[in-house]
Amino acid sequence: MSDSIQIASVTGVDVHLRIAGPGARSYAFVIDWHIRLLLALAWILVGVLIYGGDVIAGGLGGCGGSSIVLTVMLPATAIYLLYHPILEVVMSGSTPGKRMAGVQIVTVEGHTPGIGALVIRNLIRIIDSLPVFYALGLLVTMFTAQSVRIGDLAAGTVLVYDRPEKDPVQGLTEASVGRLGLQQNELVRELVDRWDELESESRRTLASKLLTQHGVTVEGVKSDEVLFARLNLLLK
């Protein structure tokens, strides 16, 4: 199973885009599903505030007044069903859920997909969603080389991880590069950046190893804050 797609360039320096697996894909989908469901429900709620309880009776009955069908039920259905195709086109292969999950759709050549490819991808969603909860699509992502669902196979698209846009050189000092070297510097910075996400024991172990490696004593230090401060000192 290949885990990246290669962008070949005339400069001879090729770049790889890391393919997102079923986990990242499902995570993005679940976020999007909640957003579109909440948006549709919010629209219906506005309808209830305007028309009262007739909206529920009309919506369920299917013919509870044309204005309710036209202004409440139809737009709510459109929000739910057209969320993916419209946002993917407008956001050039992304959606709020994909942004949050750090993934985006690209063509197999690594380009932003065109409208045609995105429409194909969403049309085949009907099949991917079979029999329930996208079971078929999810199953296919587990067994295809690039973790793609049937819609992606048809459209020639792949879901890849976003690249970090943050400039890792920002805030880098000449003194710290001279002291630690660029590679070690990156390690320390990454640990500092991810400090709050890591469990106390893991970050203490990592910090102690790095600090000891660079001649900073950690014996007797029990406070996480002190370790964090010493790591920051290394970067000065």
Partner 1 sequence: MPVWQALGSRLKELESDRAASPDIVRETLRLYPELARDIAIARRIVSGGQLVQMLEGTYARVHQLVYQPPRNLRESLRKLFRVDVPAIVHDMRWRLLSVGLFFVLSTLAGWALVMTNPDVVALFASPEIIEGVQAGDLWTDGLLHAVPSSALSAGIFTNNISVALTSIAVGVLFGLGTIYIIALNGLMLGGLFAFTAQYDLAGRLFSFVVAHGVVELSAIVLCGAAGFALGESLARPGALTRRQAFRIAAGKATRIGLVCALFLVGAGVIEGYVSPNPAFPLPVRIFVGVAYGLLFVWTLAGLPELSRLKVQRSQSVAT
The residues that touch partner 1, with contacts defined as CB under 8 A, are 7, 9, 11-13, 15-17, 62-63, 66, 69-70, 74, 77, 110-112, 114-116, 119-120, 123-124, 126-127, 150, 153-156, 162-169, 182-183, 186, 189-190
Q: Which is nearer to partner 1, 14 or 219 (CB)?
A: 14
The residues near 216 (Cβ < 8 Å, ≥ 6 apart) are: 230, 233, 234
Q: Which is nearer to partner 1, 108 or 221 (CB)?
A: 108
Q: Which is nearer to partner 1, 71 or 224 (CB)?
A: 71
Shortest Cβ distance from residue 217 to partner 1 (Å)? 27
Q: State the pairing for strand pair 15-18/4-7.
A: antiparallel
Shortest Cβ distance from residue 18 to partner 1 (Å)? 9
Listed in order, strand segments (DSSP E) in the chain are 4-7, 15-18, 103-107, 157-161
Q: Which is nearer to partner 1, 2 or 34 (CB)?
A: 2
Structural tokens at position 173? 């000092």
Task: Convert 90-148 into a string of H (helix), E (strand) and C (coil).
Answer: HCCCCCHHHHHHCEEEEECCCCCCCHHHHHHHHHCHHHHCCCCCCHHHHHHHHHCCCCC
Q: Which is nearer to partner 1, 96 or 114 (CB)?
A: 114
Shortest Cβ distance from residue 212 to partner 1 (Å)? 21
Q: Which is nearer to partner 1, 13 or 217 (CB)?
A: 13
In whole angstroms, give the CA distance from residue 193 to residue 206.
Answer: 13
Shortest Cβ distance from residue 120 to partner 1 (Å)? 5
Buried b (16+ CB within 10 A) or exposed e, 173-191: eeebeeebeeebbebbbeb
Shortest Cβ distance from residue 182 to partner 1 (Å)? 5
Question: Taking a C-beta distance cutoff of 8 angstroms, is the pair 7, 112 a contact?
Answer: no
Structural tokens at position 194? 């991810």
Q: Which amino acid is at 31?
A: I
Shortest Cβ distance from residue 67 to partner 1 (Å)? 8
